[in-house]
Structure 1
Amino acid sequence: MSKRLLRSGLIVSTMTLVSRVLGLVRDVVIANLMGAGAAADVFFFANKIPNFLRRLFAEGAFSQAFVPVLTEYQALDKEDDTRAQSRELVANVVGTLGGLVTLVTLLGVVGSPVLAALFGTGWFVDWLEGRPDGAKFELASLMLKITFPYLWFITFVALSGAILNTLNKFAVSSFTPVFLNIAIIAAAIGLSPHLAQPEIGLAIGVFVGGAVQLLFQLPFLAQEGMLVKPKWGWRHPGVVKIRQLMIPALFGVSVSQINLLFDTFIASFLMTGSISWLYYSDRLLEFPLGLFGIAIATVILPALSKKHVDQSPQQFSATMDWGVRMVLLLGIPAMAGLIVLAKPMLMVLFMRGEFGVPDVEAASLSLMAYACGLVNFMVIKVLAPGYYARQDTKTPVKYGVIAMVSNMVFNAIFAYLFSYVGLAMATALSALINAGLLYQGLHRQGIYQLSRATLGFISKLVLAVSVMIGGLYLVMPALSQWVSMSLLSRSVTLGGLIVGGGALYLVTALLVGVRLSDIRHRG
């Protein structure tokens, strides 16, 4: 089990790395094309709403409810090569979920002006009062009609990925996002320059990318014998169980997504560029979060579900402990690196074309604020499956609602005091509350608690990362030097700092007693 989890984690991380690198290339191309102005604000807004629903319905609550139930059906199919019960469940889920998502997608396309007014209220008010920024509302309504069908495609992509993950085919679903990035990059380079409004070309790239992702996964489903004819199965026992698990999970997953949309709502009242600065800083945060946190969570949810089905509480706890140690080993230095190297990273990746030094300085502030919550975001990704694998979706909801309400209060206070940076600060602080509550709940139920050995492991990591931070500050050039460098010099210098900082962290960790055995799975 130890080797398989490590191998699966490496596969997911490697595939995710390819996807995230292409995602950064995509953002570099977008920054060069549009910078952080009004058009960029509208594109990120129009892309955020279908992505919100995707994470809410498809990749979030649905996967967390579907994977444990499918694992149960696969256990029943152990002696059946045809996987009859699993295939029947999948057919009913595809038909039921597909019907509902089709309806939601049609409503979203038709009602795009309502969505634009609801989540971009500041722009809508400007449009009503005839101000220049009212054009953002009209453009957002149009672009939502193009980007919203992405929800339909990505729902089935998430369903296919969940099925393949339970069959230990992690590489396919981890690699799939590459096609979305390729489609947007191709649209930005080949289509947008020929349009009066380049952002429309990017929206078309999102639509095409969703379709290509789905088409890519279908042959792999067929190979596993899981490409089935959809059936409407609202009352199918498996669908009923998924529904019962999914409804509370919707609230739990929606917490972070509602917080992001609430950020967008408030940012629509702030200075032009606020949404874009938050987007670019969030994209850099998502790189280590997806590479390490989400990758580990993707691997351990099926593993935890199997442990629960097999009634193996000690192995369940050991798997959770492995996940926590892995994300801390990688997340603590990633958090420190994002804070210390915020400006150089933004310069190397985005400072060209319409994205200038003022945008770098503005985005770096929100990046540092977001980065303070990176470890907590990662820990949430590992602790939450501890509930979902046991088919307990209600407890994380309760904690999530507390975190959501806290975030809204923090948003109102910090946005008034610190503008858009306050929104990032509020998000990071609410993640701390959410992670703390999740851990407290698992501890109280006797499911999982940090051992003395793990606490010692964390203290060694903190010491190692402190040495890394000190070393980076000693050798890092001043901001004026970064500005005067060529792009090649900046890239080489930044690469040297990242590699050198990582090496210093690892050497120090070894010197203070961290060993490979500390991150081995002890199931």
Structure 2
Amino acid sequence: MNLFRAASLVSFLTLLSRITGLVREQMVAAMFGASAVTDAFNVAFRLPNLLRRLFAEGAFSQAFIPLFAATRARDGDAATRDLLDAVASVLVAVLLAVSILGVVFAPVLLWLMASGLQAEDQALWMTRVMFPYILLMSLVALAAGVLNTWKKFVVPAATPVLLNLSMIACAALLAPWFRRHGIEPIYAMAVGVMIGGVLQLAVQLPALWRLGMVPRLHLTPGGLRRSWHHPGVRHVLRQMAPAILGVSVAQISLLINTQLASHVGPGAVSWLTYADRLMEFPTALLGVALGVVLLPQLSAARAKNELGQYSQLLDWGLRLVLLFSLPCAVALLLFGEPLVAVLYHYGAFRPVDVAETVVSLQGYGVGLLGLVAIKVLAPGFYAQQNLRTPVKIAVAVLVLTQLLNIYTVPRFGQAGLALSIGIAALCNAGLLLTGLLRGGLYQPQPGWGLLVLRIVIAALLLAGALYWMQHHWSWLTLPKGQRVAIVSGCLAASVGLYFAALALLGLPWWRMLRRAAL
């Protein structure tokens, strides 16, 4: 399997996840609109997600996966299994304690996250129900790191679909039952989150079992003491310290933005959430897929001191980022109303909700190229087990984001928050790239100048076409079926135009997709 095929597989499964996630958001939008209770759910869901990114997919993965891949490459499977057992034991013990504390101190956490919420009681109930989700997702992240190191990408990439399917089922079946019995219907979404977390963990276990890599947990006092003193655990903890700081910076920025959005007015948090869901399509399909595939390969190349291969992997990833992200950014900026209308404008979702979601989406679109590039550039540092440089950059970007908010939020409301994030993401990516270049870790391959010129020309042609398409139809008044058909046709034509333009400009983009075998 070559790298593009692996990344395509991850991207396809991530697409399924994002499609089911979009269906989930459509159901929430149609059933509850953008209201105080949807704001309450989104904030309550962000709390465990914030800590999940802090402990699981963020700091833990950045510290654990490079060490795990290097240990397997150098020391073999037996040492790798011992490392896994020790790390898993400490992780479970710590996150059990965190989950208990989170449930107890939920009112304080909720106040810190969004003191301007109007549906405080509903948010508190959902926060307490969903907080243990962090433990489930941390174990899922651990399993995913193991499977990706063994080049088993299918199960980790497919498991997020289960969360969305669970929430969809609860929205369709449990919410009406709650309504009939006088229970707040949106509580069904919180129940769906927990069921989905259990399902995601359960589906990972057979894949780990086949590899002989199901962790053996040592949760007795003596077992925990031995696990704590394992050299690999100490190494992961040392690496997690700067990683936690780095991820914390991003999560602090999210917390501040959620707090600000909660004071903009009812619906603001939800508008940002709906826009974020759309923005996640390109960031996940390309950025996350490339990051998942590249990090173990970069770590292995670093362990073997193959610096030429290391640089070529980064170069290949960045070329794909430019090839696919730039047209996606153009679409978010110039074709936002049709996208939001066809996906969300049903039931309780009003025209004003469409307009506010569109401007939020455009703010994110400004920085889409940076948001995706970070997913490729940051692993260039993580694979070197250098987490301090990304942390320093993240701190600077946090300051920049909040300075931008001072200007943008009073003028653009919640869309100003999205715009600040977009601009800061471009700066973040630029600083990461500069660090890799100055450190000699990345040496661009020949042909970048002509590549950029061709892609920019094709993107300009695409921009003209999308601008015309957006203004040719009245999207909010079109019948729903006709709206879906026209948007689908417009997107298909846009994809064809972009890649045909690249071919006419002499760019054999299909050759860029190939990469050496894993």
2:266 pairs with 1:272? yes
Residue in 2 that maps onto 1:508? 501
Aligned Cα RMSD in Å? 1.3
Q: Is the 8 A contact 1:439 1:449 kept in 2?
A: no
Of the three residues 323, 327, 339, the one matched with 2:321 is 327
Note the C-alpha offset of 1:464: 0.6
Say which SS state the counterpart of residue 440 (structure 1) adopts: helix
Distance in 2 between residues matched to 1:240 and 1:383, nearest whole Å: 26
User: Residues 449 and 400 (structure 1 numbering): CA distance in 2 closer, same or farther, change over 3 Å?
Assistant: farther
User: Residues 456 and 285 (structure 1 numbering): CA distance in 2 closer, same or farther, change over 3 Å?
Assistant: same
Say which SS state the counterpart of residue 339 (structure 1) adopts: helix
Note the C-alpha offset of 1:456: 2.1
Which deviations, in whole Å up to 9, do the C-alpha atoms of 1:197-240 show, x marking residues without a partner?
11111011011111110001011101100013113212210111
2:307 pairs with 1:313? yes
Of the three residues 224, 246, 254, the one matched with 2:211 is 224
Distance in 1 between residues matched to 2:367 and 2:471, nearest whole Å: 26
Given residue 391 of structure 1, which amino acid in structure 2 is its aligned partner?
A: Q
Distance in 1 between residues matched to 2:516 and 2:159, nearest whole Å: 31
Which deviations, in whole Å up to 9, do the C-alpha atoms of 1:15-58 show, x marking residues without a partner?
11111111111111111111101111100010011111111110
Note the C-alpha offset of 1:352: 0.7
- Counterparts of residues 58-457 of structure 1 (less than 5 Å): 58-78=56-76, 83-123=77-117, 133=118, 136-195=119-178, 196-231=183-218, 232=224, 233-457=227-451
Given residue 265 of structure 1, which amino acid in structure 2 is its aligned partner?
A: Q
Which deviations, in whole Å up to 9, do the C-alpha atoms of 1:115-135 show, x marking residues without a partner?
111111223xxxxxxxxx3xx
Residue in 2 that maps onto 1:51? 49
Say which SS state the counterpart of residue 476 (structure 2) adopts: helix
TM-score (norm 2): 0.95
Residue in 1 that maps onto 2:464? 470
Which deviations, in whole Å up to 9, do the C-alpha atoms of 1:459-484 show, x marking residues without a partner?
211111111111222344546x2122
Say which SS state the counterpart of residue 483 (structure 1) adopts: coil
Q: Is the 8 A contact 1:325 1:519 kept in 2?
A: no
Q: Is the 8 A contact 2:334 2:470 kept in 1?
A: no
Note the C-alpha offset of 1:451: 4.1
Q: Is the 8 A contact 1:108 1:145 kept in 2?
A: yes
Q: Is the 8 A contact 2:301 2:309 kept in 1?
A: yes
Q: Is the 8 A contact 2:2 2:516 kept in 1?
A: no
2:1 pairs with 1:18? no
Distance in 2 between residues matched to 1:422 and 1:471, nearest whole Å: 27
Distance in 2 between residues matched to 1:138 and 1:380, nearest whole Å: 37
Name stretches of at least 5 consecutive residues in structure 2 with no aligned partner.
219-223
Given residue 181 of structure 1, which amino acid in structure 2 is its aligned partner?
A: N
Say which SS state the counterpart of residue 191 (structure 1) adopts: helix
Residue in 2 that maps onto 1:128? none
Say which SS state the counterpart of residue 116 (structure 2) adopts: helix
Residue in 2 that maps onto 1:129? none
Q: Is the 8 A contact 2:311 2:441 kept in 1?
A: yes
Distance in 2 between residues matched to 1:371 and 1:66, nearest whole Å: 32
2:40 pairs with 1:42? yes
Note the C-alpha offset of 1:486: 1.1
Q: Is the 8 A contact 1:56 1:253 kept in 2?
A: yes
Residue in 1 that maps onto 2:221? none
Of the three residues 474, 478, 482, the one matched with 2:475 is 482
Residue in 1 that maps onto 2:26? 28
Given residue 463 of structure 2, which amino acid in structure 1 is its aligned partner?
A: I
Q: Is the 8 A contact 1:464 1:505 kept in 2?
A: yes
Distance in 2 between residues matched to 1:437 and 1:75, nearest whole Å: 31
TM-score (norm 1): 0.94
Given residue 217 of structure 1, which amino acid in structure 2 is its aligned partner?
A: Q
Distance in 2 between residues matched to 1:339 and 1:21, nearest whole Å: 21
Note the C-alpha offset of 1:412: 2.5
Note the C-alpha offset of 1:449: 4.0
Sequence identity of aligned pairs in percent? 39
User: Residues 501 and 209 (structure 1 numbering): CA distance in 2 closer, same or farther, change over 3 Å?
Assistant: same
Q: Is the 8 A contact 2:370 2:429 kept in 1?
A: yes
Say which SS state the counterpart of residue 354 (structure 1) adopts: coil
Which deviations, in whole Å up to 9, do the C-alpha atoms of 1:230-257 show, x marking residues without a partner?
1321221011111111110112223322
Given residue 155 of structure 1, which amino acid in structure 2 is its aligned partner?
A: S
User: Residues 167 and 146 (structure 1 numbering): CA distance in 2 closer, same or farther, change over 3 Å?
Assistant: same
Distance in 2 between residues matched to 1:443 and 1:519, nearest whole Å: 23
Distance in 2 between residues matched to 1:449 and 1:412, nearest whole Å: 38
Which deviations, in whole Å up to 9, do the C-alpha atoms of 1:259-310 show, x marking residues without a partner?
2221101111111110010100011001111011110111000010010011
Distance in 2 between residues matched to 1:255 and 1:367, nearest whole Å: 23
Note the C-alpha offset of 1:522: 6.5
